[in-house]
Amino acid sequence: MPLTRRDFINRTAAAAATLSLTEQLHAMRLAIPVGRRSGAATARIVSSTNGLRGVARAWELLQRGDDTLDAIIAGVNIQELDAEDDSVGLGGLPNEDGVVQLDASCMHGPTRRAGAVGCIEDIATPSLVAKAIMDYTDHIMLVGADAKTFALDMGFTPQTLLTPKSRQHWLRWRARLNPGDFRLDYDDDIAIRFTHGTINMNAVNAAGEMSSVTTTSGMAYKVPGRVGDSPIIGAGQYCDQSAGAAGSTGRGEANIKACGGFLTVEFMRQGMAPEQACLKTLERMVSMTEARLLDGKGRPRYDINIYALAKDGRYGSASMYEGGTFAVADDTGARVEKAAYLFRRSEYPTGPVPVQRARAR
């Protein structure tokens, strides 16, 4: 029986409150068999590292019998409502005009439904808005002011998302844009905070039912209206009940061009282990990267992380550069594990990534 609007609002409030390198080369670098991450338990949750608290909460809900999508959205709500986390939701770093614009998307494997929201303002939990779009409309994506109107109609409460802390980061960035303007630079040693942080979470329960969700505030100080990969079905996340689920964090523009979420799941469908599928997708991203973002040896001047979960519970993650981690929760508990990688951290190109351009005022 479909939920009433009143039931949806009650559930929303409750959730908020509870807050090409080959496989052989990869194994040689890490000295870890690609298939090692498969356990006896089928049920499992995989997330970006900032979702460690979230996977623990989602696992509790999964064991209680909650739906996989409800569980992981409750997990990412923890970060969305954490004012100290400047990469998602409340306290997220704003665009260049000082406005926080949020993106999110979700997919529900059993029903093969999806929802997404882009550039929404003043709503701290875009993941729940994405689910409301999935549940209550015949559409998949709503954006901008109309997405906010929809959220308000659904009973979401608007609030100011720019916190004093994130505003100070934005003021420092703005003051240092152009030495010839009339704004005084901050006289301190605090580095300007940049982020393109995101949280992705994927789940499978004991019945093999899968779901995925990704939510973000996007690149810090982005051009107003910019939408990254997080709300793009098939890029920021993808879930196919017959094969698996995958998502990513990092440079969204690179992921969009490679259709990273879809491609990773498709590689798993073809028989690749999740870890290997992540690596192959990263290879595709490198091949799709424009010259200005590559160093002289063809290595990208950005990092990106992919997280994958197969229908049978196998899981894995890979980063463009060494040092990546991810969060996992299953019957052995919630923990952080090391991700595979394409390049060693010592190989990371020097020099700034030419994607932040100062704008004269």
What's the DSSP call for residue 156?
P
Q: How far apart are CA 177 and CA 170, in angstroms?
A: 11
> What global pTM score does this model have?
0.84
The answer as to whether 332 is a domain residue is yes
Q: How many domains does the chain have?
A: 1
The per-residue DSSP string of 7-36 comes to HHHHHHHHHHH-----HHHHHHHH-S-GGG
Which single residue is written with the structure tokens 């990371």? Answer: 348
Q: What integer pLDDT is reported at residue 259 of this predicted model? A: 98
pLDDT tens, per residue, the chain with 361 residues: 555 655 655 555 555 544 444 343 343 333 333 333 444 338 999 999 999 999 999 999 999 999 999 999 999 999 999 999 888 999 999 999 999 999 999 999 999 999 999 999 999 999 999 999 999 999 999 999 999 999 999 999 999 999 999 998 888 888 877 666 665 565 555 566 566 569 999 999 999 999 999 999 999 999 999 999 999 999 999 999 999 999 999 999 999 999 999 999 999 999 999 999 999 999 999 999 999 999 999 999 999 999 999 999 999 999 999 999 999 999 999 999 999 999 998 877 765 443 333 333 3
Q: What integer pLDDT is reported at residue 3 of this predicted model? A: 57
The answer as to whether 357 is a domain residue is no
Q: What integer pLDDT is reported at residue 181 of this predicted model? A: 61
Q: How far apart are CA 233 and CA 231, in angstroms?
A: 6
Q: Indicate which residues carry an active-site annotation.
A: 198
Distance of CA 260 to the CA centre of its chain: 12
Which single residue is written with the structure tokens 């969305």? Answer: 80
The answer as to whether 359 is a domain residue is no
The answer as to whether 115 is a domain residue is yes
Q: How far apart are CA 106 and CA 239, in angstroms?
A: 9
At residue 331's C-alpha, the angle toward residues 45 and 59, to 5°, is 45
Q: What integer pLDDT is reported at residue 50 of this predicted model? A: 94
Give the Å distances, CA to CA, from 51 to 112, 123, 189: 24, 20, 30
Judged by DSSP in three states, 287 sits in helix
Element (H, E) at 253: helix 252-258
Q: How far apart are CA 131 and CA 280, in angstroms?
A: 30
Q: What is the CATH number of the domain that holds 227?
A: 3.60.20.30
Q: How far apart are CA 349 and CA 351, in angstroms?
A: 7
Q: How far apart are CA 115 and CA 96, in angstroms?
A: 27
Full residue range of the structural domain in which residue 211 is found: 5-162+194-347
Task: Name the residue among 261, 307, 301 with its Cα closest to residue 284.
Answer: 261
The answer as to whether 256 is a domain residue is yes
At residue 200's C-alpha, the angle toward residues 222 and 30, to 5°, is 105
The answer as to whether 11 is a domain residue is yes
The per-residue DSSP string of 182-242 comes to SPPPP-S-PPPP----EEEEEEE-TT--EEEEEEE--STTPPTT---STTSBTTTEEEETT
The answer as to whether 183 is a domain residue is no
The answer as to whether 236 is a domain residue is yes
